[in-house]
Amino acid sequence: MTYEETLHYLYTSIPVFQHSGASAYKPGLDTSIVLDNYLGNPHKAYKTIHVGGTNGKGSVSHLLAAILRQSGYKVGLFTSPHLIDFRERIRVNGKMIPQEYVIDFVERHRTTFEPLHPSFFELTSTMAFDYFRAEKVDFAIIEVGMGGRLDSTNIITPILSIITNISLDHTQCLGDTVEKIAFEKAGIIKPKVPALVGEIYTQSVAQVFADAADRNDTLVYFASQEDLLNESYLMDTGEWYFDSVEYGQLFGELGGVAQVRNAKTVLAALNLLHSLHIDIPDEAVREGFEHVVEFTGLMGRWQVLQEKPTVICDTGHNTGGWQYLNMQLKEVIKRSRRTYMIVGMVNDKDVNGVLELMPTDAFYFFTQASVERAMSSTDIAALGMMHGLSGVTCDNVAVAVERALATAGEDDTIFIGGSTFIVADALPLFMKENK
């Protein structure tokens, strides 16, 4: 098979949550355990760090990977979803898994896994574990796909479990309260493995994690309660300035208001890794924060795609993420002559909750992503009007981008987001322009 044929097989033969949503969600670890045993438990060949949470887990995972890489370690990174290329999900020291490895893995093992009917995520996480063993990584940063307790990645026993925060998302699968969601995410806490929680807003959620730690005879640490930063602010350059207690001045490459909370989570994680006798030089921390995109290939986190007009994209797609994006966009609107929004969402999210947080003093190009789960542009425009948002509909992201660029002046700003898949459709358009 060619690489394209292999991807077609993966996308059409097994359920893919990215495209189909909850119908592709397959909770439970049974299939993952069978696949893992068949391959000889590859994840036991290296140390792992498990990262879950509603928002921020991608940024935290990439920052940790960048810092560990600059510390001299060989680092695997497994994340989801991908934006442009499937191989973004599986990286070693920032380099994507080779196409040949993906092809060979499927061809060698398809007769074994086909009778098991694995989900797309079960198969890709198994592929990642196998590839990291083949590459002889020292550490692998493993991002949870959804939830935690029943997630395919939860077969690992990490050296550290991280939960970034909790807010309402994937409620159809994880529960309709933050406490229920916290219980699912607390499922990655393992016996005698230290756990770190980035943000806590209610005592009831904190108690869920404390109870999980108690059941597992371990300790849970809360980054928000630790003295990690003397000062922090977002600079005019779009970078963060952090005056950290342990590492001095840090410049965070990742933009967006939300990144200060992710930075605190990472700094707390580094303290715990130090306590486990893992050598992480101060310079590696500074370099990881400043060059995380270069070192890991991270995209879609308040990413500036072009200037004049300024085009920004962000993958925030739930109310927790948009509380921060709302603050950021208010500042953008103050500085821009006009602000244009290219937005779309998938139909299994809290669409009204997100639309309520979008600025009313911007002009909207309502559109839809090229996935089955996408809400139609006309439906989201109708809901947007109910929230005081005005604009036009566009059949797809390419049309929306073309119309926005034709309308905007040099001093204007165009924001692209609302869904990971809107960003995924937009990114190649700008990558072509930059070549």
pLDDT digits (tens, 9 = 90+) for 256-302: 888 999 999 999 999 999 999 999 999 999 999 999 999 999 999 89
Residue identified by tokens 């006009």 is: 338
Sheet bearing 139-143, strands edge to edge:
95-96, 90-92, 75-78, 139-143, 47-52, 160-163, 195-197, 220-222
Bridge partners, residue 342, by sequence: 365, 416
Q: What percent of the chain has pLDDT over 70?
A: 94
Mean pLDDT to the nearest integer, 144-160: 93
Mean pLDDT to the nearest integer, 379-396: 97
The values of phi and psi at residue 202, to 5°, are: -135, 150
- 18 has a pLDDT exceeding 60: no
Sheet bearing 413-417, strands edge to edge:
303-306, 310-313, 413-417, 339-343, 363-366, 390-393
Tell how many helices (H) and how many strands (E) occur in the chain.
Answer: 17, 17
Give the per-residue pLDDT at 198: 93
Lowest-pLDDT range, 12-26, 63-77, 219-233, 395-409? 12-26
Residue type, 57: K
| Banded model confidence at residue 109, pLDDT cuts 50, 70, 90 | very high
Residue type, 183: F
Give the per-residue pLDDT at 15: 57
Give the per-residue pLDDT at 257: 84
- 27 has a pLDDT exceeding 80: no
In this structure, the number of other CB atoms found within 10 A of the CB of residue 290 comes to: 17
Give the per-residue pLDDT at 26: 53
Average pLDDT, the chain: 91
**Euclidean distance between CA atoms 321 and 177, whole angstroms:** 17
| Banded model confidence at residue 170, pLDDT cuts 50, 70, 90 | very low
pLDDT tens for each residue of 188-220? 999 999 999 998 878 998 999 999 999 999 999
Does residue 30 contact residue 118 with C-beta atoms inside 8 Å? no
pLDDT tens for each residue of 292-304? 999 999 999 899 9
**Euclidean distance between CA atoms 288 and 276, whole angstroms:** 20
Residues near 180 by beta carbon (within 8 Å), at least 6 away in sequence: 174
**Pick from 81, 19, 25, 12: nearest CA to 372:** 19
Does residue 135 contact residue 127 with C-beta atoms inside 8 Å? no
Give the per-residue pLDDT at 393: 98
Mean pLDDT to the nearest integer, 417-429: 95
Give the per-residue pLDDT at 54: 86
Residue type, 98: P
Cis ω on the peptide bond leading into residue 15 (within 30° of 0)? Answer: no
Q: What percent of the chain has pLDDT over 90?
A: 76
**Euclidean distance between CA atoms 343 and 315, whole angstroms:** 11
Does residue 309 contact residue 412 with C-beta atoms inside 8 Å? yes
**Pick from 424, 418, 427, 398: nearest CA to 346:** 418
**Per-residue tokens: 235:** 């600079």
Mean pLDDT to the nearest integer, 110-119: 90
Does residue 363 contact residue 338 with C-beta atoms inside 8 Å? yes
In this structure, the number of other CB atoms found within 10 A of the CB of residue 235 comes to: 11
**Euclidean distance between CA atoms 130 and 124, whole angstroms:** 10
Residues near 55 by beta carbon (within 8 Å), at least 6 away in sequence: 164, 165, 167, 169, 258, 316, 318, 320, 321
Lowest-pLDDT range, 26-35, 391-400, 420-429? 26-35
**Pick from 422, 171, 412: nearest CA to 307:** 412
Give the per-residue pLDDT at 181: 87
**Per-residue tokens: 137:** 């990584």
DSSP string, 253-318: ---STTHHHHHHHHHHHHHHHHHTT----HHHHHHHHHSHHHHH----SSEEEETTTEEEE----S
Q: Give the DSSP letter of residue 375.
A: P
- 24 has a pLDDT exceeding 70: no
Does residue 68 contact residue 294 with C-beta atoms inside 8 Å? no
Q: Give the DSSP letter of residue 374.
A: B
Give the per-residue pLDDT at 146: 81
- 355 has a pLDDT exceeding 80: yes
**Euclidean distance between CA atoms 259 and 19, whole angstroms:** 28
Does residue 43 contact residue 140 with C-beta atoms inside 8 Å? yes
Mean pLDDT to the nearest integer, 124-133: 97
Give the per-residue pLDDT at 347: 85
Give the per-residue pLDDT at 317: 84
Lowest-pLDDT range, 23-32, 148-157, 341-350, 374-383? 23-32
Give the per-residue pLDDT at 434: 41
Does residue 183 contact residue 175 with C-beta atoms inside 8 Å? yes
- 21 has a pLDDT exceeding 90: no
C-alpha separations of 252 from 31, 74, 320 in Å: 39, 22, 21
- 16 has a pLDDT exceeding 70: no
C-alpha separations of 11 from 107, 123, 164, 214, 285 in Å: 15, 11, 30, 41, 38
**Which domains are seen in the chain, by residue range?**
3-296 (3.40.1190.10), 303-434 (3.90.190.20)
